[in-house]
Amino acid sequence: MCDGTFWQPLADTLTCQVVDYGDANSITAMAEVVLAAAPSSFVVAGHSMGGRVALEVARLAPDRVQKIILMDTGYLPRQPGPAGDTEKAGRMALLDIAHQQGVRVMAQEWVKGMVHPERLTDAPLIDAILDMMERKTADHFARQQNALLSRPDASPVLAALRLPTLLLCGRQDTWASVAQHTAMQFLVPHAQLSVIEDAGHMVLMERPEATIQVIQSFLEQA
């Protein structure tokens, strides 16, 4: 549900292309949209669900990806049994709100766990996030929830990565925790792991300067 607003701090510094997934409703279909829009060789960066898409891009076209940046994301499929049922129920509850009360009302609930707790009173930040999500429809949200509920296990993709890899997350990200990124680094021992202090899930919007500094340093490495 993010758009160029999330990436704007980075776009102000570097040349980047933000890809809209449109009506794609699976991680693989989203990766194919990215590859259709991308040049022959590129650096791919993905945030949250986009991190899973970036990994699928690397799986589908490893020879085209120069470097990969995975931000506040995950790699495991939905768990079987009660844990997976709980995740699905939570996602469907948000989807019901989006359909019945509108995307902005849903986003007001969603954002509570997606930024550093102290930023919940930062009106400009929260309004920017809500405005961004409201530009998408409940149908977009439904397709993205379907993609996440049916997400593939990206463990083999991580283990096979040979290209320069940056793992980046906010210290206070409770959705995609530091521990989760440490587990990803175990699968990609050569990966750089950077933790942005005083930031939650929306790290580039919460702490743009610190996040951009890490990304620029990574991109400048030979």
| 72-92: pLDDT as tens digits | 999 999 999 999 999 999 999
Sign of CA dihedral 200, 206, 207, 208: positive
Q: What does the angle CA 178 – CA 182 – CA 188 come to, to the nearest 5 degrees? A: 140
Record the pTM.
Answer: 0.95
- Average pLDDT, integer, range 41-70: 98
> pLDDT tens across 181-211, in order?
999 999 999 999 999 999 999 999 999 999 9
Rg (CA), the chain: 16
Burial grade of 38 (CB within 10 A; 0-12, 13-18, 19 or more): middle
Q: State the average pLDDT over residues 161-180.
A: 96
Please compute the mean of the pLDDT values over residues 7-20 and round it to a whole number.
94
166 vs 102: CA distance, rounded Å: 36
Give pLDDT, residue 139: 96
pLDDT for 76 equals 96
* The Cα angle at residue 206 between residues 110 and 58, in degrees rounded to 5: 80
Calculate the CA dihedral of residues 118, 122, 126, 128 and round it to 10 degrees: -140
Q: Tens of pLDDT along 30-52?
A: 999 999 999 999 999 999 999 99
pLDDT at 222: 80
**Could you give all domains of the chain from N- to C-terminal order, each with its CATH number?**
4-77+152-220 (3.40.50.1820), 81-146 (no CATH)
What length is written for the chain? Answer: 222
- Any bridge partners for residue 67, and if so which? 43
Q: Rounded distance, CA 43 to CA 65, Å?
A: 6
Q: What is the mean pLDDT of the chain?
A: 96
**CA distances, 89 to each of 104, 177, 192 (Å):** 20, 21, 34
Report the DSSP beta bridge partners of residue 146.
none
User: Which of helix, strand or coil describes residue 171?
Assistant: coil
